[in-house]
Amino acid sequence: MSTASVPLPNWITYGLIPLLNLALAFLISGLVVWSIGENPFEALRLLVDGALGRGDAIGFTLFYTTSFIFTGLSVAVAFHAGLFNIGAEGQAYLGGLGAALVALALDHYVPWYVTMPFAIIGAALFGAAWAFIPAWLQASRGSHVVITTIMFNFIGAALMVYLLVNVLIVPGNMAPETRTFLEGGQLPKLDWLMALFGLKLGPAPFNVSFLIALVMAFLVWVLIWRTKLGYEMRTLGISPTAAVYAGIPYSRTVIIAMLISGGLAGMMALNPVMGSSARLQVEFVGGAGFVGIAVSLMGRSHPVGIVIAALLFGILYQGGADLSFEMPNITREMIVVIQGLVILFAGALEYMFRPAIVHLYLRLKRA
Amino acid sequence: MKKSLLTIIAMAALSTTALAADIKPALVYGTGGKFDKSFNEAAAKGAEQYKKETGTDFRDFEPTSDTQGEQAIRNFASKGFSPVVAVSFAWTSAMEKVAKEFPDTKFVIVDSVVNLPNVRSVVYKEQEGSYLVGVMAAMASKSGKVGFIGGMDIPLIRKFACGYAQGAKAANAKIEVLQNMTGTTGAAWNDPVRGGELTKNQIDQGADVVYAAAGATGLGVLQTAADNKKLSIGVDSNQNYLHPGSVLTSMVKRVDLAVYNAYKDAAAGKFTAGIQANGVAEDGVGYALDDNNAKLVTPEMKAAVEKAKADIIAGTVKVHDYMSDKTCPM
């Protein structure tokens, strides 16, 4: 009997195996750190301390986490419908345009809580619109969504640079970015939430969009596991032919799944654009769309898993930057190596330990 | 005498550290990374130079994103580093925020302007330096076509392109200037392969001198030009040594001096805030001449470029700045 079909209790599948993978990734990373002549334990301490040691460190970690939750959810929703959306980067970029246009239009007149719902809608609409064309091409022409979405990332980047350099730029300014939003166009920081735990947020841009991300995680769970549409999407994801045979409209489901996916990616823009820099900048997404793929894979496309995986990547991002700041020998390329190892072991090699654990589990159960 | 004495007193009163105090210098690079053989590496060289002369060590950081850049600048400031030099316009808004939070720390931003009492903004008249190498390119070209390859399509790089075109046309009114930008994302600064492809394309169209203003992407431009036995022009650092006999010259932008001077001034208590605009007259930009390209630069070329330089300094030649009105007369 193959070990793959042996059912394991959830605490092993979702608890022990990821932890083992993570431990192995850190062990190999430690060897790399050791080989360049630094103390791996000190490096680990700096990484954890840099990500979780102080109020502002936690604030930065959660700031990155927020972005990764959005993009992770985006990838996951498409994934449930059997679509591999690797265009979250571009959809988030365009979402930033939607959020920024709302903020620029309203910030003079209304407070942030009036701007916010419109900004959410704006970001989601623009993100969804950017996902629509690849979705339509997939649904009606069979053009593979992997190819079209990644191509749309580049078209999106070109469009945004054109707009920022020629249209939205503040005249006479060197940096291609919009004007700074007034208070009415900014999402407030969550210092009160940190204060509940006796922590001081300091300059960290941890803001309201974190709460929006958590609400979206819940809504995605409802969508996927508690609605008819979610059922249709999952059926389509497991077997498109069976889904069509069962009367699930293929084109409609593909397009709707991609629109939701794009909308979630677009909402990611709320965090950096309105929550942190208060202006639309070139390249503000900074790879979060691609991290979303890793987050979704690691989180097994389940909202709870995604939140946890996003937190892990937030820790790696913030702690990694702090580590390379404190240990100049560890360059930013080294940090990428460590992040890569975590993705490799926790994502790609997720089943490496499984056969051994199954044997062990069966033996223990018999005993 | 009296006047200079007064100046000294005024300066001593203005500066927070009147004595040649020990400084804790820091340097934050652009996202291109420290070893781009170009802009960021020039900044690193300035800091190394200061370290060599004074023994004062410096700390540096290579951010990978905008948020990280702001964090790095703030980290340095909060740990007592001063002056904190940030190279790249990308840190403009970060610098604005952090400099307000640490009014006693001295900051320097290169390639952008931040109007705060503790920030020195160092900007360059890249159009003037590009004009000079444009003159040389047009004179060195036999085909009557010269090329320009920029990094990311942003106003700063259009400023390089516009100065270059003006210089080339000034030397040869009939010259044709081919222009390409590498891309629209930050990756355009670090894509030597695409730089090489664009160069190949321009060479196929007849260009025989190609000017790269594209950070590390330029390495591919220089390589391809050398492989095809054509000429190229480097940027920011002196890149003549990369392919001796093929790199016609380099448009040097003395970012190293900006860093070096910031540290030196701070240590001597002479740090001043405000805008420093460095053009040809201030030796902030110029063309590079050394053993590696001595054979490529003919005496006429040298005479012409020196004349252009003198004319710019004297004000008889005004190089149009793309940034001033977002248009290029060429």
Q: Where are the domains of chain A?
A: 1-38+329-367, 53-324
What is the distance in angstroms between the Cα of A230 and the nearest Cα belonging to chain B? 36
Amino acid at B169: K
Convert the pLDDT of each residue in A327-346 to its tens digit.
888 888 888 888 888 888 87
Q: Of all residues in chain B, what percent carry a pLDDT higher than 70?
A: 94
Q: Residues 165..224 of A with a Cβ closer than 8 Å to B: which?
A: 165, 169, 171-172, 174-177, 180, 203, 205
In whole angstroms, how far apart are CA B123 and each of B77, B156, B178, B218, B252? Answer: 22, 11, 27, 22, 14
Listed by number, the residues of chain A in 299-328 with a beta carbon closer than 8 Å to a beta carbon of chain B are 321-322, 324-325, 328
ipTM confidence: 0.76
Q: Tell me, what's the pLDDT at B12?
A: 47
pLDDT at B4: 57
- Residue A269, judged by CB atoms within 10 A of its CB (0-12, 13-18, 19+), counts as buried
Contact B154 A205 (CB under 8 A): no
What is each CA distance from A247 to A142, A228, B230, in whole angstroms?
19, 13, 64
Quote the radius of gyration of chain A (alpha carbons, Å).
Answer: 22
* Spatial distance between the Cα atoms of B275 and B289, rounded to a whole number of angstroms: 29
d(CA B201, CA B195) in angstroms, rounded, equals: 10
Max CA pair span of chain A = 77
pLDDT for position B158: 92
Distance CA A169, CA B95 (A): 18
With CB atoms and an 8 Å threshold, state whether B92 touches A175: yes
Question: Is the Cβ pair A174, B67 closer than 8 Å?
Answer: no
* Architecture of the structural domain at B127-253+284-325: 3-Layer(aba) Sandwich (3.40)
Question: Please, what is the average pLDDT of chain A?
Answer: 92
Decide if A155 contacts A95 (C-beta within 8 A): no
- Per-residue pLDDT at B33: 81
- For the segment B5-24, what is each residue's pLDDT rounded down to a tens digit? 555 555 444 444 444 468 89
Residue with tokens 């599948």: A13
What pTM was computed for the model? 0.85
- The pLDDT value recorded for residue A367 is 77
| Run of H or E residues at B232 | strand B231-236
Please tell me which residue of chain A has the smallest CA distance to B98: A203
- Distance of alpha carbon A343 from alpha carbon A323, whole angstroms: 19
- Alpha carbon distance, N-terminus to C-terminus of chain A: 19
Q: Which residues of chain A have pLDDT under 50?
A: 1
Each as own residue / partner, the long-range contacts of residues B90-96 (CB below 8 Å, 24 or more positions apart, any chain) are B90/A175, B90/B30, B90/B31, B90/B66, B91/B28, B91/B30, B92/A174, B92/A175, B93/A175, B93/A177, B93/A180, B93/A277, B93/A279, B93/A281, B94/B66, B94/B69, B94/B70, B95/B119
- Say how many residues make up chain A: 367
Interface A-B, measured as beta-carbon pairs within 8 A, has a size of 83
| Chain B residues touching A203 at Cβ < 8 A | 74, 97, 101
**Per-residue pLDDT, A340:** 87
The span from the CA of A112 to the CA of A125, in Å, is 19
Q: Is A155 in CB contact (< 8 Å) with chain B?
A: no
| Eight-state DSSP code of residue A353 | S
Q: What share of chain B is helix, strand, coil (3-state, %, to 5)?
A: 45, 20, 35
B240 vs B303: CA distance, rounded Å: 20
B235 in Cβ contact with B214 (< 8 Å): yes
pLDDT of residue B14: 46
List the B285-287 sheet strands across, edge first. B176-183, B145-152, B209-213, B231-236, B247-253, B285-287
- Place B1 in a pLDDT band, splitting at 50, 70 and 90: very low
Q: How many Cα atoms sit within 13 Å of A327 on the Cβ side?
A: 25
pLDDT on residue A241: 94
What's the N-to-C CA distance of chain B in angstroms? 50
Q: Which residues in chain B have their CB less than 8 angstroms from residue A276's CB?
A: 67
pLDDT given at position A2:
62
Residue with tokens 């591999």: A84
pLDDT tens-digit readout, A113-139: 999 999 999 999 999 999 999 999 999
Residues on chain B bordering chain A, Cβ-to-Cβ distance under 8 angstroms? 33, 59-68, 71-72, 74-75, 89-90, 92-93, 97, 101, 111-113, 123, 152-156, 183-186, 323, 326
Residue intervals of chain B classified under CATH 3.40.50.2300 are 2-125+255-278, 127-253+284-325
Q: What are residue B24's DSSP bridge partners?
A: B82
DSSP secondary structure of A217-282:
HHHHHHHHHHSHHHHHHHHHHH-HHHHHHTT--HHHHHHHHHHHHHHHHHHTTIIIIIIIISS-BT
- Give the pLDDT confidence of B43-73 residue by residue, as tens digits: 999 999 999 999 999 999 998 877 788 889 9
Question: SS3 of B171, please?
Answer: helix
- Residue B250 above 80 pLDDT? yes
Tens digits of residue pLDDT in A258-273:
999 999 999 999 999 9
Give B204-214 pLDDT, tens digit per residue.
999 999 999 99
What is the C-alpha to C-alpha distance for residues B298 and B161, in angstroms, rounded to an integer?
24
Whether residue B90 and residue A175 make contact (CB cut-off 8 A), yes or no, is: yes
Q: Which two tokens stand for residue A262?
A: 């794009």
Give phi and psi for A172, each to the nearest 5. Answer: 85, -5
How confident is the model at residue B5, as a pLDDT? 53
Q: Dihedral (C-alpha) A65, A68, A72, A75: value to the nearest 10 degrees?
A: 170
Enter the CATH code of domain B2-125+255-278. Answer: 3.40.50.2300
Q: Considering only CA atoms, which of B324, B270, B300, B275 is closest in space to residue B110?
A: B275
Q: Taking CB atoms and an 8 Å limit, are B75 and A325 in contact across chains?
A: yes
pLDDT single digits (tens) B170-200? 999 999 999 999 988 777 888 899 999 999 9
Q: Which of B71, B113, B185 sits opposite A321 (nearest CB)?
A: B71
- The partner residue sitting opposite B186, judged by closest CB among A63, A154, A283, is A283
Q: What does the alpha-carbon distance between residue A290 and residue A293 come to, in Å, rounded to a whole number?
A: 5
Choose the mutation target among A332, A333, A336, A339 for the interface with B, i.e. most B CBs under 10 Å. Answer: A332
Check residue A211 and give its pLDDT. Answer: 97
Query: Which residue reads 């001295």 in tokens?
Result: B106
Reported as half-sphere exposure (CB side, CA atoms, 13 A), residue B239 has a value of: 34
Query: Which stretches of chain A are DSSP H helices?
Result: 10, 17-35, 40-52, 55-80, 88-106, 112-136, 145-162, 191-196, 209-226, 228-238, 240-245, 250-267, 288-298, 303-326, 332-343, 354-366
Q: Give the Cβ contact number of residue B294 at 10 Å.
A: 11
Any chain B CB within 8 A of the CB of A283? Answer: yes
Handedness of CA B6, B11, B13, B18 (dihedral sign): negative
> Is the Cβ pair A157, B113 closer than 8 Å?
no
